[in-house]
Every structure is written in C-alpha cells, then in structure tokens.
Chain A
C-alpha cells in the first residue's frame, strides 16, 4: 500500500490557450495532510479537476502507480480517487443515509441494486460515526446545516473508500467550532489516506496542515512545512505585493509564525 501516493509530473491544463495549470510537479504521500494554497485564480481547483478527470490535461497524474489522465471520471473514482466541490454537492432530496449508501455502492451488482436496502452497511455506519452524523441518518440532506453538508461529503468519500481525497475549500463559510471539528476530522482520516486540501483560510491551514504547496499563476511557487512556506519571500510577495515585508505584515496575511 506504500504505492498509495499522488505524483503529478508536468501537469498542464490550458483553456483555449490560457494556461491555468502550468507544468506542476507535486507528490503527496500517504498519511500526509497537504494544503494547497494560492491567490484566487491560481489554478487550485483546476488542478483537482484535472486529477479527477473533469478537465483535460497533459503531463502525468499518477495515483497508486496508475496514470489517471485520459480516464473517464467514474473510472478514476473507482481507482480510489474522491473529491469534493467548492460548493457542497450532496443529493438534497435523499437522506443522509441514502447519500452515504449510494456513495458506498459503485461496485454493487445489478441484483443488489434492484433490491431495497435492508439494514445499514457497516461502512456507512462507520462513516456516519466518523463524521458525526449518526443522529441525522434519516434527515434529508437538503435541510442540513452548511457544515454538516461538508461533513456528509467527506463521509461519502470515506464510504466510497477513496484513498486519495481532494477537498476544495471544505471550511469556507463554517463557524470557528465547525472548522475545528473539520480539522480534527481531517487529521483522523489522513492517517491511512492521501489527503489534499485546497483552502484560503490561513488560520485553519496553520492549525492542521502537515505540509503546504503554494500555487501561483498555475505554477508551484513554494513547498514545505507551514513555517517554511510562510517565511518564503516569494510567497510573501505574492500575498503582500513586491518589496520587503516585516514579520508583522506577513503575520497579518499569512498568519502568525511567518
């Protein structure tokens, strides 16, 4: 299982000549909790789109030793790659349980599909426990709070048995407690998975990131631990503008410790 890592080599995405992701090299190991940050339009979402098969890309995107580029979205998903979207997308008219049950079922036989669900599959039970939605199993997903929807989405990735999780701004719009809750959830699940989190929330990143990659204009600008990245003058320049910056200035934007 130590082949369970994400390796991007020269990953490039262009939209009609505009290069949104420009020759990105990136490797994320199993057990890592990698934060992908960068200003608006840096290409973070596009990078996730490319790996999950939503947009065409060139270069290589290998997970667990297989090149994902060129495969159809559902094939990539079946290889253990899961993602969430910037806006939570759960099936609003189905219950929490039904949402998770569907996520668990991509490999089900036609015969199983044509029958009614009897009982709750163990993986679903476990995921509900992990993301803390057990009490809401029969609640329609549409009426969940924003944070709960995000957790449901993460739960769906867990039952889907995704080994590579790519989360696009999972804590946007969450309260401070919800963010903490989410951060701890991510720490719990990253132990035996490869997790990539796109985030703008610097405090959240500082609290929970194990490693950080900064993307700017489609290219990798900097990479390392939180402290290393915050201290990197190139990163400060992108976030604060050109010129020298004091530690205080950097701290305001990039968080304390810069």
Chain B
C-alpha cells in the first residue's frame, strides 16, 4: 500500500515541478532563442511520450515515428505557407519552380480548422491502418521494427521526389505567421513555447492515465505474452493498435508544433535517422516509465545541440555509443538507476507481505 501512495505522491509532485519549471522558470531565465530551442525539444518529447507507450509498454519497437511527426509537421507547414501567401495565392517556393499553381490536395489546408483536424486525424488513422495490417498478421519484434523503418525511409524519399508539392529536400520554411500571429514577434514565439509545454503536459497526463488503467495492464500483458492474451479472449492486435495510434497522434501534434517553433521542416527531420534519434532518447531515459522518455528525449536533443555546435560530425557517433551502452548495461534506461536507489533505501526490514517492495518493479509499478 505504501508504495502506491508513494508513487501517487511522487507523480503529482513531479508533475507540479515540471509545470513550474516549464511555465515559470524557463521563460524567466532563458533568452528567446534558447526558449525556442527548448520548445523544439518539447516537440521531440511529445513523440517520446508516444514511443514510451508503444515501445516501453506495448513492446512495439517503432523506428518510424518520424512518419507521423512528419505528417503533422507538413500539414502545419502547408497551412502556414498558404496562409502566408494569402487567399487564393500560390506559396512563394511553389511559384518559383512551377507555374501549375497549388496542387488540389493542398487546397483544403487553406483552412486552419481543416488543418488542425487533419493533424489530429491523419497520423492516427494511418497508424490504425498500419496496426491492423501488421498486428493482425502477427508481424512483431524485429520485423515490425524493420517495417516501420522502411516506412520512414519511403516517406522521406516521397517528400524529396516531389519538390513542387513538398519543397523537396529543402523542405518548407520561411514562415511568417501562425494563425494570424506574426512569428517575428518574440511575444508570439513565447506563446508558441507555452502551447508546446501545455501540449506536452497534457500528453504526459494521457499517458499516465493509459498506464495505470486496465488498458495499461492489458498492454503490458500483450507485450509479455501476446499468445496468452489471445487465449483469454482478447484480440491483442486491437490493444496494440490503440497504443500505436495514440503514439502516432502524439507524434503528429509534436510535428505540427515543431514547424512554427523551429521555422523549417525538411525530409532530414522525418526520415530514418531522426526516427532513430527519437527512440534513443526514450531508451536512455527509460522506456517503461512515464518521465523517462520525456527527460531522455529532452536531454539527448539538448546534448545534440550543444555537442554539434562544437563537433559538427561527432554527434552521430556519440549518439550511437550512448545507445549501445544503455542497451548493453542499462536496459531499463537511466530511470532504473533512480529505482535502484529508491529500492535500496526502502523501508527497514519489510514484513513478508511487503515482499514486492524488495523486487524491482520493471513495468507494473513504474510510474516514477
């Protein structure tokens, strides 16, 4: 019982601390530029929350979250380009390389409402279709990982191959406004940061609810014994698809907010390499926990920025090395260190009934 209270307490406090840091401390101590960088990391963290759910809890090693991130991002970017151009007009980059005008499938995204709905629905829908197609056929483990990675590669190739519609390898950039607010105004940039922080906190709450709910227990059961779950009368494909779809939606929103905050989206941000980069943060932070993926993603993104300022090409190696070290020596990520410490100073000689306090709680009780 005590451990339940302790963890509930800890989650509430952790959440409050995070809110104070994000909404009060960060804006006070960071320059507009640094705050924008933090906003970018928060967008990655949104993807990470979803990966934590799909991979950490559901066992789906998804190497293609860049696709959902990218769909959200490009939808937002299309809308911003159309809005910058003005009603009925052609965005600048398009006018430069083609006289055909705006492709028909761009047109709906002149509307902000349609764009927001599409950002929420399209990545989710794609994940549902993919999930049904793969999980029903019992594609899992390494096969699922490879499939999702191939998808990310194909998505990047598709983007590069259609320069007129997507800006090709340069991507879409040079956005001037965001739903009527000028992106040059530091106050509006700060507002964007606040939107990202709020979105991230909401996602963490959603993930927490899913983790402690019966669905969360079922998801862990599917991860650890998919066949067994089937014999209990559930269809694991459905359970996994739900988690995968939620992860995709989170990635889509992260991508959509990334665009106005960072000011550019290109195939380099959505292909195989960034998809794996997102995963590494989750692995390092601790994929089965609530806070691990968020902190891991932010830390890795921050390390990337600071390191690549000094050694531009070294980062990829550092990232790969960190990943290998964590996978080899700390499969539970840094979060498992916190848990060890906590178990080490657990209540003095626990009675036999409190046996579970002694054992590490890899998934069941890991809401730290």
Contact = CB atoms under 8 A, between A and B. Distances in A.
B220 A91 contact: yes
Contacts of B353: 135
Nearest to B209: A114
A115 interface: yes
B218 A105 contact: yes
B356 A138 contact: yes
Contacts of B228: 85, 89-91
Interface stretch (B73-81, B148-156, B192-200, B230-238): B230-238
Contacts of B220: 91, 93-94
Interface in B219-241: 220-221, 224-225, 227-235
B170 interface: no
A93 B288 CA distance: 12
Contacts of A117: 214, 217
Given A95-B364, A116-B212, A140-B364, A74 B217 contact: no
B362 interface: yes
Nearest to A113: B215
Nearest to A153: B228
Contacts, number: 93
A116 B214 contact: yes
A94 B221 contact: yes
Interface in B177-229: 209-210, 212-215, 217-218, 220-221, 224-225, 227-229
B313 interface: no
A188 B233 CA distance: 24
A55 interface: no
SS class, residues of chain B in contact with chain A: helix
Kindly name the residue among A83, A91, A108, A143 whose own CB sees the greatest number of chain B CB atoms within 10 A. Answer: A91
Contacts of B364: 93-95, 98, 140
B309 interface: no
B363 interface: yes
Contacts of A138: 356
Contact of B217 (A77, A102, A139): A102
B355 A139 contact: yes
B310 interface: no
Interface string A92-131: 1111001101110111100011111100000000000000
B218 A113 contact: yes
A82 interface: yes
B31 interface: no
B113 interface: no
Greatest chain B CB density within 10 A among A83, A93, A94, A160 is at A93
B224 A139 contact: no
B99 interface: no
Contacts of A114: 209-210, 213-215
Given A95-B364, A98-B364, A140-B364, A83 B215 contact: no
A222 interface: no
A102 B232 contact: yes
A52 B231 contact: yes
Contact of A113 (B214, B229, B235, B363): B214
Residue of B229, B234, B362 most packed against chain A (CB within 10 A): B234
Contact of B214 (A92, A99, A115, A135): A115
B230 A77 contact: yes
Contacts of A52: 231
B318 to A, nearest CB: 32
Looking at B215, B229, B233, B355, the one whose CB has the most chain A CB atoms below 10 A away is: B233
A156 interface: yes
Interface in A22-63: 52
Contact of A92 (B224, B227, B356): B224
Contacts of B224: 91-94
Contact of A116 (B213, B221, B231, B362): B213
A73 B210 CA distance: 26
A115 B213 contact: yes
Interface in A136-191: 138-140, 143, 156, 160
7 contacts: A73-B231, A85-B228, A91-B221, A94-B364, A108-B214, A114-B214, A135-B353
- Closest A-B pairs by Cβ, 5 of them: A106-B233, A77-B233, A113-B215, A78-B233, A73-B230
Given A74-B235, A91-B224, 13 more contacts: A74-B231, A77-B231, A77-B233, A83-B231, A94-B363, A98-B217, A101-B214, A102-B232, A107-B233, A112-B214, A114-B213, A135-B353, A143-B359
